[in-house]
Structure 1
Amino acid sequence: MSRIVHDSVPGRVRLAIEPLRHNTPLAIRLEALLRREPTITEVRASIWSGNLLVRFRPPLTAAEIGRLVERALDPLRSTEPESTPVEQPALPVVSQASDDGKDWSRESAEAAMTAFGGDGVSGLSDAAAAAALRRWGANAFATQHGRPWTTILREQVASLPTALLAGSAVLSLATGGILDAALILGVIALNTGLGYTTESKAERMIASLGVISQPEASVLRNGVVHHVPTEAVVPGDILVLAPGHLVAADARLIACRDLTIDEALLTGESVPVRKSVDAIAAATVALGDRTCMVFKGTAVTGGSGRAVVVATGPRTELGRIQRLAASARPPETPKQRQLDEMSRQLVWGSLACVGGMVGLGLLRGLPPLALVKSAASLAVAALPEGLSTVATVTMALGIRDMARDHAAVRRLDAIETLGSVQTVCFDKTGTLTLNRMAVDTVLVDGREHRFAAGTPAAQAADEDGLRQLLAVGVLCSDADVTAQAGGGFRVTGSATESALIHVAIDTGLDPVALREAHPLISMRARSETRRFMATRHQKPGGETWVAVKGSPADVLRLANKALVDGATVPLDAAMIEHLTAENERLAAEGLRVLGFAEAMMESGDSEPDYVWLGLVGLADPVRPEMRALLGRFHAAGIRTVMITGDQTATAYAIARQVDLSKGEPVEILEGRHLDELDPKVLAALADKTHVFARVGPAHKLQIVQALQHSGQVVAMTGDGINDSPALRAADIGIAMGTGTEAAREASDLVLTDDALPTMVTAVERGRAIYQNVRKSIRFLLATNSSEILVELAAVGLRLGEPLTPVQLLWINLATDVAPAIALALDPPEEGLMAQPPRDPQEPILRSRDFATIAREGAVITLAALGGYGYGRRRFPGVDGPRGMAFMTLTLAQLFHALASRSETRTMLSTWRTGNRPLAATVAGLVGLQLLGALLPGTRRILGTAALRPQDVAAACAIAASALVANETLKGVLASPSLPAAGLSEKDMKGPEEGANR
């Protein structure tokens, strides 16, 4: 995982480490572990280049450093959690399930140190730290490892349909139907095995995306800075903060200098937050605005500071988020509700049929024992054994297809739930946007330049004023720039600095050559009182070039001249007012605005004349595909909502860019108002709000639950720990593959390549699966009802036993599962994504569906009775009529599968979008049925008489007549006012054909 790339200079070695790129925790781990070696004098790990630079003294060698690095990388080679270092005692983990309610951002630093016994000068003593560790426990919380195999297995069998199948198997055994019981148990085993295999594979894929965390923290103890295990940090410890450090616990700042923290882990916003020791006066403030606090897991991006720890482990903001995620529970999926309801309906229907048969049989004087056996067989036949298998196989195939699209679906139900989604909640940073800063607008020399995703317009490169401003941006920067051997440049620095360098490169400037031609003399960093950065550079002619960038207001106060039409003119009050208005305009668009100025100094000058150059507005660019993607959601009748911790102005600007509100005025609600609202009021507001800004993790959970309480099926996207409670509570949680482990564990669907357009594909596939499962269920119930009606007719007409148990078993085996699964592979109907989402409260089968099923089953029954009548005239005894009834019923059910592809359109109108699996299945099963009737061995097993070719032809003709009759009735009875398959009647205004135009 590592290799030495340069060791020719004594005492210096550079290693290339494959997993180091963009991996801040690993960089911190390597630096912390190597600095413990007394002969190592310097360690620098770059997450941008993936290189590690180490300076050392003899007797240490480059090879030994390579071995140290490999040992540090060992945890990455194992999926087991990292163990506690040998030299450290085991740390007690104390339950800290509730917060003390103290908001330390409103308290002074002295109050925080007094409360926890901290000392800003010497820190805790060893004895005090040990006592605090015993009192508060380890600075750790439970690690999430995904669902255990027992949970996955239990979820496959814990359903009402499975319970009904198991009951049917027991009933079959009780009445001597061993083959029936074996078939039903085989179906249960197939469903369980398929579901378990599919979901456990997804769990393994998601687990492979894991990350590691920082092993040590810098704390002040006994007056000396020590590196201690993160788990051993306790309340009262003084954290020593420096660039590259991960904050080990929640802490109140007691001192800082130019300290900036990346709090994206908690807020989702990637722009670093500038910190201060001043307490917050407001009673309620968003997490991202608590500028005097630092939080566990966030990263120091600049400056330095010290902070007294006020919360560890479960008491931290991270621990609070974990508790929220653990307590959040998604609602029951629409499919679960619908199948459970339908299973209850089938039970009552089965009991009614059994009661009808017993009553009819007693009236006809049939023997009670024979009647009981027939009733038991009827009860088993009334329950479609293939129902669970069809649903399981269909969703498993959908999950397989999603895996090909780089999406890991963790639960079988998830893909079907996607098909019923009515609202999608998007996180902003990293989801709607690229999660990197780029220059959006430059105002220079009276002209405005707009940039598309950080790429300037072609004509911009020819303007001197723009090139001069961008040159100042290159010089007034602490970003590292190196030329690549194959061309291009490598830029390492903060998001803002990198964006300014990249736009200069895009405009044609060579930053390396520019810096070499103007060497740096001195640099003054930005501070709390001077909100700009200034650098001095030596010009080739001996002059000093001063480059300035920072807060537009501060830079304007510094400048006394301005660049106008290529000439330097005095900066008057009117110009300042105009520039201030322009600054406010850009800020209102959600841009981060910087002002730029320069000065030329002779050797004897004490204070130069600063020339105002212009304004630069930066933003996290919107993903290029997002506007079109949201348009596809809107066309499908799906509402889109943004939930972000960012400022209202930024959120509004992004919402306008991506047309989040579908052309309507953007309605915004800030997080500070959520806690004041009654849940019913919030549910009503959530249904009309497009953007929720300045929200925290608890607010995101509130918003998702409010949308659900308004009756909507909600999908939530996210990638951070702060998103995990809302991801878990949503009907369908969607996490990015590059997101945090907590987000992936809380989600139902993981986009392993972060490609959001896959969501639209998943929604379409979910809708198609729902439609196809409906088709399969209607087919199964229609064929099962025909078998029930045949049995009832035989009892009522005293025809004896029209079908033997073996024949019924063959019919269920041949005409239930295989054709129903083939039906579930029907291609999506045209216009599927132009239809509104279905009503999640609507049953999977409506009352009119049951009427249609009964009608179709009755027609097939008449065909079977017609075959039986033909057999009575043609054959003596019972085997001939029974054989003809068996042949006709089986063929009629198989033919009916071809007619079940649409509820309202006939076969003539659906043939263009063929279903080859269905055609092949029906053809194969018809061939098996005919072969079974002709072979002596199978005839004996099935209990049928020998049929001549003309008998088989007669059976085929009678079965085909049932198909023609059902298709004719479908065409005649289909009403334009009835909705298309799978849609609520209130959502549609025309027939299925109209919906598909």
Structure 2
Amino acid sequence: MAPNHPGGELAPVPPDGRRARGLTAAQVAERTARGEVNDVPLRSSRSTADIVRANVLTRFNAIIGVLWLVMLVVAPVQDSLFGYVILANTGIGILQELRAKKTLDSLAVVGEARPTVRRDGATERISTAGLVLGDVIEIGPGEKIAVDGRCLEADGLEVDESLLTGEPEPAVKQPGDELLSGSFVVAGTGAFTATKVGREAYAARLTEEASRFTLVHSELRSGVSVILKYVAWMMVPTALALAVSQLVAYGRDFKGSVARAVGGIVPMVPEGLVLLTSVAFAIGVIRLGRHRCLVQELPAIEGLARVDTVCLDKTGTLTEGGVSVTELRTLDGSDEREVRAVLAALGGTDPRPNASLRAIIEAFPEARPGGRPPAGPAAPVLPFSSARGYSAATLDGGEAPRTWLLGAPDVLLPAAHPQLAAAARLDEQGLRVLLLARAARGRGAHDPDVAAGARPAALVVLEQRLRPDAPDVLRYFVAERVGTKVLSGDNAVSVGAVAARLGLPGAEDPLDARTLPDDPDGMAEAVERGTVFGRVAPRQKQAMVGALQSRGHVVAMTGDGVNDVLALKDADIGVSMGSGSEATRAVAQVVLLDDSFAALPAVVAEGRRVIGNITRVATLFLLKTVYSVLLAVLVVLFRVEYPFLPRHLTLLATLTIGVPAFLLALAPNTERARPHFVRQVMRYALPGGVLMGAATFATYMLARGHYTGPGALTAETSAATLTLFLVSLWVLAIVARPYTWWRICLVPAMGLCFLLVLTVPELQRFFALKLIGMAVPWAAVAVAVVASAGLELVWRRAGRRATV
């Protein structure tokens, strides 16, 4: 790509009072041909090459591949079955991730930010990837700045750069100022020229993404990596010792010794665990895609399972985004015609009005586009900001220009003002109330103390429509013991009334966030105790999320407005509405494209299903690793032949791990995920694997003392295989709990398949399994029963320790 030059051939800055026309079609085509395009890839999914590489080029695939090639040379085809299984597993993993990629990419296109650019003097919305160097881009409240640029036009433009620079206060931008990609507009409007695009942009240089975000931590993936690292360290010396013992110590034929050595090494590799994790994540993405949920980071599915607290913004979440004016109350003898005229004029001052101002525009036709306000702005307006709680504009009209304010009554008026009582009565009904006030004489819109001494002129009463699905969602969270906190910038009493109408427990005691303690411990205690909070500033939302996290909570934050961005970014899981601002969609890990609040239970349930099932089936894989290592150690210490060929363990792994684990990983599971994945899994896998290995080796040694003659080794192997299968089947019965009809059928179905192998002559010969006599097979069953009882006790003890 050609370099970006801030001072290069860009769109010219127009003289004052003129509007920049932007690039021509010919200039866009020329710059596209030169590669001066915003070619930052979507972060929704990996490339196809990355997916194939991640599934094929793994440490354990390399080990299995080498062993497979060895077995193809020295042993019959049935001893090479494990290699074909690995090929099939890898193929399944690739196909599922490609399906997930297709789902993610299609949803990402729907949810992608589409900046407004000027080209040939007209405005149009294009994809972020379609921006070229020198484009003139319009921006407004809640929009993310997609590329670096130089400000051309600014009307009260305030930009929050905290995600990039850490500066807490929004920066006021004037023409000529630099704008950084990854920042977002909190107030005002403007336009800028793109000076750096693609990977040359500021945020792209930081993270190779569109902006600087904290990626979701995946305890599951990091835990699996830790397990695999220790397995590799343990496997290498054990495998070497086993190979030497089989090749040197016993004088067997070379091919038979290699086959037995490989039979001991292959089951040490928990190769299916990584595959199953990837497949479960991928299928989770596909299932959420059916609910029109865009998962922008795959590990976010895991984070959803661990969520125990959900923070909700009221507007756009509990209530629908739109509002309507239901009443206008003039105050202190104000003239209603003047008030209506002023509201009409204020509605016409903002080219990108928020929901409340749009309702005012609808209520007063003079403010509609194409209408003619009776008074126009005499000076730059102060746009609405959640941090301020009001907007201001100086209007011509009457004897002299007068500054008017529109915002929250309890922000614009002192605490003891008599008009607050009327506003409070309306708040108690769950209505939103705005105050129109006159600023003191001589104060302009941008005066820092413009609200001081303001005189109330009218109350504008707005009705908010409740989401019909909100009560069911809140009841779901209560039933699942997920704490719910409502954090809103609106009046606390009004928010509490809305939450109470929805049946949220604790809504009857709303708190004004301005009264919360400043110290972290005090805030954490207050936030943990309370349920509904009003007048929450954007920075406070961020601090309140952090306070909950400091108490050990896993927090999901939902929101749709620019005031939610900081909290969404810091939450463990950020959930944005699809119609929300570009900034919220950009920092969220999950985007509800249809704005369906009812999708939240499905999102949380899917996360629980994935992580809960993976935690359970991981036990199956790691038990195999533990007992395989123990068997190899015992074989070396007792200087005997390894009891199994690769075909035996391939059969056992398929019937007791492979097929069941795949089915169990996709089953419903509503159990909330617990932390410390490695500790949870190893709490059972380690003692359970030792029991299984010891029981299997005991049966093998018992059979060695009983059988003699040419068929002795086959009989010994068959007895040991019977014990190991029965014990593994009991482990499957434990992991499959709680039982449903198909889980009840799963365990005997696997047992029936093994019985067919033992009774059908062709299968007996193929797998080299044949039980001889009665004494040893029944002894093998008895050993399996004792070991299964021990495994049951270990499981129950591990379960009790996990709940402590």
Verify same fold: TM over 0.5: yes
CA contact (8 A) 1:425 1:640 kept: yes
CA distance, structure 2, for counterparts of residue 813 and residue 667 of structure 1: 57
1:811 corresponds, among 631, 636, 652, to 652
Deviations for 1:840-899, whole angstroms, at most 9, x for unmatched residues?
A: x55354653344323542465267548846973999533233223323422432232012
Deviations for 1:94-153, whole angstroms, at most 9, x for unmatched residues?
A: 3459xxxxxxxxxxxxxxxxxx986436789999xx99xx99xx9x97265525986354
SS at match of 1:436: strand
CA contact (8 A) 2:46 2:101 kept: no
Cα distance change, pair 377–411 in 1 and its aligned pair in 2 (3 A): farther
Corresponding residue for 1:979?
802
Does the alignment pair 1:401 with 2:267? no
The residue type paired with residue 524 of structure 1 is P
Greater relative contact order (Cα 8 A, min sep 6): structure 1 or 2?
A: 2
Corresponding residue for 1:609?
none
Q: CA deviation at 1:730?
A: 6.4
Superposed, 1:604-615 pairs within 5 Å as 615=459
Deviations for 1:288-341, whole angstroms, at most 9, x for unmatched residues?
A: 899999999999x99xx9x8x77645599xx87777743434154212211111
Corresponding residue for 2:453?
none
Does the alignment pair 1:778 with 2:622? no
CA distance, structure 2, for counterparts of residue 823 and residue 706 of structure 1: 37
CA contact (8 A) 1:872 1:880 kept: yes
Cα distance change, pair 649–965 in 1 and its aligned pair in 2 (3 A): closer
The residue type paired with residue 617 of structure 1 is V
Q: CA deviation at 1:388?
A: 2.1
2:578 corresponds, among 737, 752, 765, to 737
Q: CA deviation at 1:202?
A: 2.2
Q: CA deviation at 1:774?
A: 1.9
Structure 1: give runs of 5+ residues left out of the alignment: 1-90, 98-115, 219-225, 268-282, 447-467, 481-492, 505-510, 512-520, 536-549, 554-575, 597-611, 674-680, 902-909, 981-987, 989-997
CA distance, structure 2, for counterparts of residue 126 and residue 958 of structure 1: 82
CA contact (8 A) 2:312 2:557 kept: yes
Cα distance change, pair 291–438 in 1 and its aligned pair in 2 (3 A): farther
Does the alignment pair 1:857 with 2:692? yes
The residue type paired with residue 104 of structure 2 is A
2:721 corresponds, among 886, 899, 903, to 886
CA distance, structure 2, for counterparts of residue 851 and residue 356 of structure 1: 21
Q: CA deviation at 1:169?
A: 2.5
Superposed, 1:318-467 pairs within 5 Å as 325-351=210-236, 353-354=238-239, 357=242, 374-410=260-296, 412-421=298-307, 430-431=316-317, 433-439=319-325
Superposed, 1:215-230 pairs within 5 Å as 216=118
CA distance, structure 2, for counterparts of residue 970 and residue 298 of structure 1: 52
Corresponding residue for 1:567?
none
Cα distance change, pair 756–773 in 1 and its aligned pair in 2 (3 A): same
CA contact (8 A) 1:199 1:411 kept: no
The residue type paired with residue 374 of structure 2 is R
Cα distance change, pair 727–444 in 1 and its aligned pair in 2 (3 A): closer
Corresponding residue for 1:942?
767
Superposed, 1:555-954 pairs within 5 Å as 578-579=418-419, 582=422, 591-594=433-436, 615-618=459-462, 623=467, 629=473, 654=495, 658=499, 665=511, 667=513, 695=538, 715=556, 717=558, 732-739=573-580, 747-794=588-635, 796-797=637-638, 800-828=641-669, 832=671, 838-839=674-675, 843-845=678-680, 848-858=683-693, 860-861=695-696, 864-865=699-700, 868=703, 872=707, 877-901=712-736, 913-945=738-770
Cα distance change, pair 229–362 in 1 and its aligned pair in 2 (3 A): closer
- If you compute each CA radius of gyration, which structure gives the higher value, 1 or 2? 1
CA distance, structure 2, for counterparts of residue 329 and residue 786 of structure 1: 39
SS at match of 1:326: coil
The count of corresponding residues between Structure 1 and Structure 2 is 705
CA contact (8 A) 1:870 1:884 kept: no
Q: CA deviation at 1:420?
A: 2.3
Q: CA deviation at 1:808?
A: 2.3
2:88 corresponds, among 181, 186, 209, to 186
CA distance, structure 2, for counterparts of residue 239 and residue 172 of structure 1: 60
Q: CA deviation at 1:203?
A: 1.5
CA distance, structure 1, for counterparts of residue 70 and residue 229 of structure 2: 22
1:524 corresponds, among 365, 369, 374, to 374
SS at match of 1:593: strand
CA distance, structure 2, for counterparts of residue 238 and residue 816 of structure 1: 56
Superposed, 1:25-104 pairs within 5 Å as 94-96=4-6
Cα distance change, pair 729–143 in 1 and its aligned pair in 2 (3 A): farther
Corresponding residue for 1:142?
38
CA distance, structure 2, for counterparts of residue 763 and residue 733 of structure 1: 12
- TM-score with structure 1 setting the length: 0.55
Q: CA deviation at 1:921?
A: 3.5
CA contact (8 A) 2:330 2:459 kept: yes
Deviations for 1:452-483, whole angstroms, at most 9, x for unmatched residues?
A: xxxxxxxxxxxxxxxx999x979996999xxx
SS at match of 2:108: helix
The residue type paired with residue 896 of structure 1 is V
CA distance, structure 2, for counterparts of residue 882 and residue 125 of structure 1: 83
CA distance, structure 1, for counterparts of residue 581 and residue 70 of structure 2: 53
CA distance, structure 2, for counterparts of residue 161 and residue 190 of structure 1: 15
Cα distance change, pair 526–292 in 1 and its aligned pair in 2 (3 A): farther
Q: CA deviation at 1:824?
A: 2.6
CA distance, structure 2, for counterparts of residue 150 and residue 247 of structure 1: 21
2:64 corresponds, among 143, 168, 171, to 168
Cα distance change, pair 651–398 in 1 and its aligned pair in 2 (3 A): same
Cα distance change, pair 357–320 in 1 and its aligned pair in 2 (3 A): closer
SS at match of 1:591: strand
The residue type paired with residue 707 of structure 2 is R
Cα distance change, pair 735–613 in 1 and its aligned pair in 2 (3 A): closer
CA distance, structure 2, for counterparts of residue 780 and residue 394 of structure 1: 15
Corresponding residue for 2:170?
286
Q: CA RMSD in A?
A: 6.6
Cα distance change, pair 650–500 in 1 and its aligned pair in 2 (3 A): same
CA contact (8 A) 2:44 2:295 kept: no
Q: CA deviation at 1:178?
A: 4.2
Question: Taking every aligned residue pair, what percent have the same amino acid on both sides?
Answer: 20
SS at match of 2:602: helix
Q: CA deviation at 1:777?
A: 1.6
SS at match of 2:320: coil
CA contact (8 A) 2:319 2:465 kept: yes
Cα distance change, pair 375–326 in 1 and its aligned pair in 2 (3 A): farther
Cα distance change, pair 188–875 in 1 and its aligned pair in 2 (3 A): same
- TM-score with structure 2 setting the length: 0.65
CA distance, structure 1, for counterparts of residue 214 and residue 597 of structure 2: 25
The residue type paired with residue 336 of structure 1 is R
CA distance, structure 2, for counterparts of residue 876 and residue 635 of structure 1: 61
Structure 2: give runs of 5+ residues left out of the alignment: 126-130, 348-352, 366-370, 380-392, 399-403, 408-415, 439-455, 528-532
Deviations for 1:674-712, whole angstroms, at most 9, x for unmatched residues?
A: xxxxxxx9999789878895559xx99999899989987
Cα distance change, pair 498–166 in 1 and its aligned pair in 2 (3 A): same
Corresponding residue for 2:447?
none
CA distance, structure 1, for counterparts of residue 58 and residue 783 of structure 2: 36
